[in-house]
Amino acid sequence: MTELKNDLFLRACLREDVERTPVWMMRQAGRYLAEYRATRARAGGFLNLCRSPELCSEVTLQPIDILGADAAILFSDILVVPEAMGMELTFGVGEGPKFPDPITCRADVEKLPVLDDPSKELGYVMDAVSTIRRDLNGRVPLIGFAGSPWTLATYMVEGGGSKNFSKVKAMMFNEPETMHLLLEKLADSVAAYLNGQIANGAQAVQIFDTWGGILNTSNYKEFSLAYMQRIVQQLTRENDGRRVPVILYSKGGMGWLEAMADTGCDVLGLDWSIDIDVAKARVGDRVALQGNMDPTMLYAKPERIRAEVKDILARFGHGNGHVFNLGHGITPDVPPEHAIEFFKAVREESVRYHG
């Protein structure tokens, strides 16, 4: 493989010395960029874009060129896993993802296969990973990702997005054995999927637990965290002569950081509901921290964005183990120049905390 020219992100994930704090952001290849919108239009739709390795590579590299991000993240969608397991997935114009035939009973779950060879049903993602690695040519590391079993299950049972998650919670409460069977199948499928990404060139992986925070503590640990740990335990942790960092991100899960750190992950992603100094005090040097500026701060004036960056850097303080990011994904109507200023501020202001 091509030698990395910028490995700040990988070193920070492993709490090694860095010259400055690396920065990337969730959804950095997205609709806020005119270049992305043009590529998506050429693809003829979101799913078509996801299924084209060459176009996936194109949009994945756009933020590296425009923002100067210290890591690229695979362009895909978390719901390609349930689709590969046999569920029809649609993205209507102006709508979110839909599963027209959601899971309603144990028989539906029993019919779902476990994905043990991602090169078959998800070969287009594997091709995208290898294509992106080729096109990056060692500029920055590539992050692979997947949704957590619980988050995937919410979409599969609800049939799409939800406000109160009544269907998936009813199944969890009334048919816990059915829910556990679904989560087991998803965990093993996601582990195989992420290992496939690693084998094809992903140099770190992130598990997105977008909806873990809708659960109380006991249910989170039983139905969400346990299955993320099941994934972590199956992952390839070294490839191409380097450690492969694993990032765990539970939106709304900041009350459970200690338990999350116990999974064996290398990095905890933080949302914006916790101050980073508080999170650092709670987990110590067990894991690195990623985050955690409020995404809506990018609507602010550039000088206010820089002030927020400085505050978060100061709260983390001197030393290593910090990857700067937003607390969730960038929103589509953020001015691109504000995102550029955000990245510039991190690069310039973080040097004083290293060396």
Pick out the residues of the known binding site for substrate: 27-31, 77, 155, 210, 328
Please identify which of the residues 11, 15, 20, 27 carries the catalytic annotation: 27
Q: What is the DSSP string of 325-352?
A: -BSSPPPTTS-HHHHHHHHHHHHHHSGG
Per-residue tokens: 123: 């070969």
Please identify which of the residues 37, 51, 77, 139 carries the catalytic annotation: 77
Please identify which of the residues 40, 133, 230, 306 carries the catalytic annotation: 40
Reported for 114-120, long-range contacts at CB under 8 A and 24+ positions apart, including other chains, are 114/185, 114/188, 114/189, 114/192, 115/81, 115/84, 115/85, 115/188, 115/189, 115/192, 115/193, 116/188, 116/189, 116/192, 117/192, 117/196, 118/84, 118/192, 118/193, 118/195, 118/196, 118/197, 119/196
Largest alpha-carbon pair distance within the chain? 58
Our answer to whether residue 193 is catalytic in this structure is: no
Q: How far apart are the first and last CA of the chain?
A: 29
Residue with tokens 């060879």: 117
Our answer to whether residue 286 is catalytic in this structure is: no
Q: What angle do CA 245, 208, 164 make, to 5 degrees?
A: 160
Annotated binding site: 27-31, 77, 155, 210, 328
Our answer to whether residue 155 is catalytic in this structure is: yes
Reported for 11-16, long-range contacts at CB under 8 A and 24+ positions apart, including other chains, are 11/320, 12/288, 12/320, 12/321, 12/322, 12/323, 13/204, 13/245, 13/247, 13/266, 13/267, 13/288, 13/290, 13/323, 14/243, 14/245, 14/266, 14/288, 15/285, 15/288, 15/320, 15/321, 16/320
Please identify which of the residues 36, 155, 220, 227 carries the catalytic annotation: 155
Strands 267-269 and 246-250: parallel
Strands 204-209 and 90-91: unpaired
Q: Chain-centre distance of CA 267, in angstroms? A: 12
Our answer to whether residue 31 is catalytic in this structure is: yes
Please identify every residue annotated as catalytic. Answer: 27, 31, 40, 77, 155
